Amino acid sequence: MKGDIELEPETSSVSVQRLQKKGQTTLVKKSEKLDEQIGNTLTKPVMGLGVTFTLKKIPAKTVDLSTMVWLENERDQELLDEFAISDILPTFKEYGQEVPAFGREECGVIQVADGSRRRFTAITAKSDFYIWVGDLSDEQMNYLSEVGNNYRPTSAYEQGQKALRLLNSGKNQEEVAILVGKGRRALMREVNTARLPKPFIKALPSPNDLSARQGETLFKAYKKLDEERKKELADFFTNWCDDKGKYSAEELVEMFIAKSGITKPEHVKPRELAMGATVALKNGNAIINLPKVSDDSLKAIEEFISQTLSKEALQKL
């Protein structure tokens, strides 16, 4: 389906072209150029089926109410803020929207499949929103959402949310793993990450800063807390959201660890013996390192250990 993402606009008879004076060099905003194409159509193959789209303009003041993000979109809209769209917000404010979104219209509301970040940016910047609207099935909406999210991949937390929804719908781990194209172990790491408190995820500079391995480790400690401690943890990170960007992801993870009471295992420093040999004791287990040991020396050491342990065992009888 590589051809599914190639766009070839076709100007229709209902388009209105702006007349420009010959030789005029005035810089025109991208959105103004899109204004010239309102009502234009394009045919785009989506999942192998041709779909005809019409370019529509949603006035700035109605974007929030007259459009919505497709509910199956993997990207968590609650995690979007000015910090999360800092890569496109300045351009949006200066030049307007450059690339239209894609979606469909249902019951008078336009559902956005590809372009949820652009929609949020338009709302934030109080600018008009442009979208190609076509007759799309649910499967095609899902496909366009996935294609759109490839530009800025979703996080382990968001992917885990999707898997968690599928599990809660009655599917088992194996079925969900097949659906999302991942192994069961990797799947459950993301699911456990999705079970972390959202205020903590929102406090991160980006949800992508937390890997599934990190998330699962934090969740194992988090699930042991009682409800009061969990609420205290969520309240703590809620208060940090206003200072977003002030702390790195590493610092916020350290805060989570401290607030959860997670104790880090102390590093065991080996004791040095003669000729570079070392011995380390951890949890009652001895680890002996003998570099370049001869066969005779190894035999003598083994005999000594065997005799010593046997003697100790007899004393305990």
The answer for residues whose C-beta is within 8 angstroms of residue 166's C-beta and 6 or more apart is 175, 176, 179, 180
pLDDT, tens digit (0-9, with 9 covering 90-100), for 45-98: 999 999 999 999 999 999 999 999 999 999 999 999 988 899 999 999 988 899
**What is d(CA 70, CA 296) in angstroms, rounded to the nearest whole number?**
73
Helical spans, DSSP H, in the chain: 30-35, 63-66, 89-95, 116-125, 138-149, 156-168, 173-180, 184-194, 198-203, 212-222, 227-240, 249-260, 295-315
Looking at residue 64, its pLDDT comes to 95
156-260 CATH: 1.10.10.2830
- CB 72 within 8 Å of CB 37: no
Beta-carbon neighbour count of residue 19 at 10 Å? 5
b/e map 270-293, b = 16+ CB within 10 Å: eeeeeeebeeeeeeeeeeeeeeee
The Cα-based distances of 309 to 39, 279, 305 in angstroms read 87, 16, 6
* 278-282: strand order across its sheet: 271-272, 278-282, 285-289
Residue 116 has pLDDT above 70, yes or no: yes
Per domain, the residue ranges of the chain are 2-149, 156-260
Tokens of 203: 């406090």
Residue 164 has pLDDT above 70, yes or no: yes
Looking at residue 23, its pLDDT comes to 42
The arithmetic mean of pLDDT across residues 116-142, rounded, is 96
pLDDT, tens digit (0-9, with 9 covering 90-100), for 171-227: 999 999 999 999 999 999 999 999 999 999 999 999 999 999 999 999 999 999 999
In three-state secondary structure terms, 108 is: coil
